[in-house]
């Protein structure tokens, strides 16, 4: 018996698909990852560059604002001459203060301070007069009297954030007075707020104390000191941040938005400009790219999978066809031609396989012919020996002595076995040559079964086997060939006795279903393993555990039985469990209408 080939379904196909996927997808994935990496790197640099440009623009706006303030003061005073200053009836401070206030809306108050530190005149945009103070102790005055322009820290007033600009007033190259100007930052803030990075990027402005000067529509924040914020303190120490480091992506404490930000210090006034670009906009471009790349990778992988599956199918299908054809040949069917049209080596292999199958078929035919001729030639002599043996044992040639009987009995037994074997071989050869012709007609199988049981009685008695059979009264007629049917049932019963236990029980029952009349022959004998069940109807098959016993047999009975049943248009099934018993079930069509004659020969 051939060992069962373990099933390895789909392995070649899976390996091929896997290989295809690895070869195709690895470059796709590497390319995708590299693209993603370089795109996000380039994007980072672009963001940094855009933010830098925005910071430069903001710085220019701030510088321009203060330059204009300082220029205004300087230009106007340069045009004064000594005569103007001497004329006691001319209030020159008022004239010039009004000019300043009109020339730049940021001026809210102008004071003129004598070189001794006493305010000599004060003009406000909003109130007529003010108390004149002595500012000789103020650091800004001291600095101005030494010739320096000073811009104070930001302070909040009722009219918004303000700085004080203190500048010396030069006349003829000498410091003549000091001018103290209160400058509102409101125009500067509104200019800064107009600076935008695309739609959502905005500017934040802090003074050196961490006071928020300009803020994105959030005036309450302006009172807040942000000096402890590390980004601000780092920038105040001179380090500009450029949106390239991972720390430059953060949640803004001012707007609570996730942003990518850069900073810049304005050295002269020690203010810090922040540009913050919400990720919802700054990341949009790279996010779109990422999506496009991921979708492309996904589509590529799906396409690779489809293509790989198609090629795997094309590769594996011919192999499967060859595999199935091999199984058919194993079952003795040589007619199945393999059709492979791949136009390559596989097609050649298919053609070679077909040639091999034709050769095997010819061999099988030769073998059958040989078996048929040999069995045919053997039948005459062994049948003659059988006849003469019967005559000898009948006493036709005179009485035989016990010694002669002792010597001749084994000869008779062996010859009987030989006759059975030769008859079986002839049937097999006939069946395989298509010469087995069987006619079927309606018959009452109860009568035939009862006759077979009677014939089997002596064999059953030897092993004390009980055969239970109660013929049902209303059983329909079945379409069978009586001789073949008897041979089939006889084989089942004799096997049930042979492979059953001493004192065993054989049950014969009927069943009528779907136009078929079934007969089951069940025993409680040794049973057949699941593996052996698959080979039960093959020629010369005998279960390994049976071969090692003294039970005689050729392994042809069930093969012939199956052939006979099929020729009669019936079906056969078997169920068995080792140690519990076996049940053979044979079903034939129930007879109806006129008598049908079937000739299955081809």
Pairing of strands 107-113, 174-184: antiparallel
Closer residue to ligand ADP in complex, CB, 45/417: 417
Q: Which is nearer to ligand ADP, 460 or 543 (CB)?
A: 543
Nearer to ligand ADP, 255 or 554 (CB): 554
Closer by beta carbon to ligand ADP, 130 or else 544: 544
Q: Residue 440 Cβ, how far from ligand ADP at the closest point, in Å?
A: 23
Q: How far is the CB of 467 from ligand ADP (least distance, A)?
A: 13
Q: What letter does residue 288 receive in the DSSP assignment?
A: H
User: How many chain residues touch ligand ADP (CB under 6 A)?
Assistant: 21
DSSP string, 169-207: EEETTEEEEEEEEEEESHHHHHHHHH--BTTTBEEEEE-
Is the separation of the CB atoms in 169 and 235 below 8 Å? Answer: no
Residue 558 engages ligand ADP in binding (rule: CB under 6 A): yes
What are the phi and psi torsion angles at 313 (to 5°)? -60, -45
Among 523, 570, 572, 589, binds ligand ADP (CB under 6 A): 523
Q: Which two tokens stand for residue 159?
A: 């009219």
What six digits make up the tokens of 575?
Answer: 């169920």
Smallest distance, ligand ADP to C-beta of residue 530, A: 13
Taking CB under 6 A as the binding criterion, the range among 117-125, 305-313, 510-518, 550-558 that sits at the site for ligand ADP is: 550-558
Counting contacts by CB under 6 A, is residue 427 touching ligand ADP?
no
420 burial class (0-12, 13-18, 19+ CB within 10 angstroms)? middle
Choose, by CB under 6 A, the member of 140, 536, 572, 586 that binds ligand ADP.
536
Q: Is 562 in the site for ligand ADP (CB under 6 A)?
A: no
Among 114, 368, 420, 554, binds ligand ADP (CB under 6 A): 554
- By beta-carbon proximity to ligand ADP, the closer residue of 147 and 544 is 544
Shortest gap between Cβ of 536 and ligand ADP (angstroms)? 5
What is the side-by-side strand order in the sheet with 258-266? Answer: 212-214, 202-206, 271-278, 258-266, 249-251
Among 318, 350, 525, 570, binds ligand ADP (CB under 6 A): 525
What track of x and - describes contact with ligand ADP for positions 231 through 250 (by CB under 6 A)?
--------------------
Name 113's Cβ contacts closer than 8 Å, sequence gap at least 6: 119, 120, 135, 141, 177, 178, 179, 180
Task: Assess 586 for contact with ligand ADP (CB under 6 A).
Answer: no
Q: For the segment 370-399, give every residue that binds ligand ADP (CB under 6 A).
A: none
What does the alpha-carbon distance between residue 126 and residue 108 come to, in Å, rounded to a whole number?
7
**Does residue number 222 form part of the binding site for ligand ADP (CB under 6 A)?**
no
Q: Is 11 helix (H, G, I), strand (E, B) or coil?
A: helix
From 285, 321, 349, 546, residue interacting with ligand ADP (rule: CB under 6 A): 546
> Pattern 487-506, binding to ligand ADP, x per CB under 6 A?
----x---xx--x-------
Label residue 399 exposed, middle or buried (CB < 10 Å: 0-12, 13-18, 19+): exposed
Closest CA to 517 of 472, 552, 583: 472
> Mind giving me the DSSP string for 118-178?
BEEEEEESS-S-----B-TT-HHHHHHHTT--EE---EEETTEEEEEEEEEEEETTEEEEE
Binding site for ligand ADP (CB under 6 A): 491, 495-496, 499, 523, 525-526, 528, 536, 541-543, 546, 553-559, 582
């Amino acid at each position: 018996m051939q060992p069962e080939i373990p099933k390895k379904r789909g392995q070649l196909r899976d390996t091929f698909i896997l290989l295809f996927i690895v070869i195709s997808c690895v470059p796709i994935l590497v390319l995708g990852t590299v693209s993603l990496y370089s795109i996000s790197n380039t994007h980072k640099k672009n963001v940094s560059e855009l933010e830098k440009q925005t910071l430069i623009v903001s710085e220019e706006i701030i510088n321009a604002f203060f330059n204009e303030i300082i220029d205004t003061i300087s230009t106007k005073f340069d045009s004064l001459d000594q005569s103007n200053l001497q004329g006691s009836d001319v209030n020159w401070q008022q004239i010039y203060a009004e000019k300043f206030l009109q020339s730049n809306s940021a001026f809210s108050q102008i004071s003129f301070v004598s070189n001794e530190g006493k305010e000599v005149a004060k003009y406000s945009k909003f109130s007529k007069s003010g108390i004149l103070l002595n500012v000789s102790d103020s650091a800004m005055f001291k600095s101005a009297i030494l010739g320096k322009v000073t811009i104070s820290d930001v302070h909040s007033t009722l009219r918004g954030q303000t700085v004080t600009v203190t500048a010396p007033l030069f006349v003829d190259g000498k410091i003549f007075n000091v001018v103290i100007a209160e400058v509102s930052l409101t125009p500067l803030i509104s200019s800064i707020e107009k600076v935008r990075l695309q739609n959502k990027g905005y500017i934040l402005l802090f003074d050196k104390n961490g006071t928020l000067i300009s803020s994105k529509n959030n005036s309450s924040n302006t009172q807040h000191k942000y000096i402890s914020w590390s980004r601000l303190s780092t920038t105040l120490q001179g380090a500009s941040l450029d949106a390239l480091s991972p720390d430059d992506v953060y949640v803004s404490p001012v707007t609570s938005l996730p942003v990518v930000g850069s900073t810049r210090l304005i050295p002269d006034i020690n203010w810090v400009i922040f540009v913050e670009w919400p990720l919802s906009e700054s990341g949009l471009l790279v996010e779109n790219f990422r999506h496009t790349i991921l979708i492309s990778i996904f589509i590529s992988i799906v396409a690779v999978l489809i293509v790989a599956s198609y090629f795997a199918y094309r590769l594996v299908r011919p192999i499967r066809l060859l595999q199935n054809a091999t199984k058919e040949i194993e079952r003795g069917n040589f007619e199945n031609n393999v059709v492979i049209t791949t136009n390559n080596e596989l097609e050649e292999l298919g053609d070679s396989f077909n040639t091999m199958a034709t050769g095997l078929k010819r061999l099988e035919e030769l073998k059958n012919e040989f078996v048929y001729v040999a069995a045919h030639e053997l039948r005459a002599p062994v049948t003659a020996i059988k006849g003469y043996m019967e005559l000898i044992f009948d006493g036709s040639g005179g009485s035989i002595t016990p010694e002669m009987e002792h010597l001749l009995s084994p000869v008779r037994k062996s010859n009987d076995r030989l006759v059975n074997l030769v008859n079986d071989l002839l049937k097999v050869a006939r069946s395989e040559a298509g010469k087995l012709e069987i006619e079927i007609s309606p018959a009452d199988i109860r009568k035939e079964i009862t006759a077979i049981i009677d014939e089997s009685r002596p064999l059953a008695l030897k092993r004390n086997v009980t055969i239970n059979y109660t013929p049902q009264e209303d059983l329909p007629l079945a379409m069978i060939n009586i001789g073949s049917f008897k041979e089939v049932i006889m084989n089942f019963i004799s096997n049930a006795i042979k492979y059953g236990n001493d004192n065993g029980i054989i049950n014969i029952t009927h069943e009528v279903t779907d136009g078929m009349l079934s007969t089951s022959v069940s025993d409680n004998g040794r049973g057949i393993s699941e593996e052996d069940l698959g080979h039960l109807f093959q020629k010369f098959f005998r279960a390994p555990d049976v071969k090692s016993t003294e039970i005689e047999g050729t392994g042809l009975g069930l093969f012939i039985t199956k052939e006979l049943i099929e020729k009669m248009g019936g079906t056969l099934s078997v169920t068995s469990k080792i140690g519990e018993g076996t049940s053979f079930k044979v079903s034939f069509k129930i007879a109806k209408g006129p008598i049908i004659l079937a000739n299955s020969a081809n």
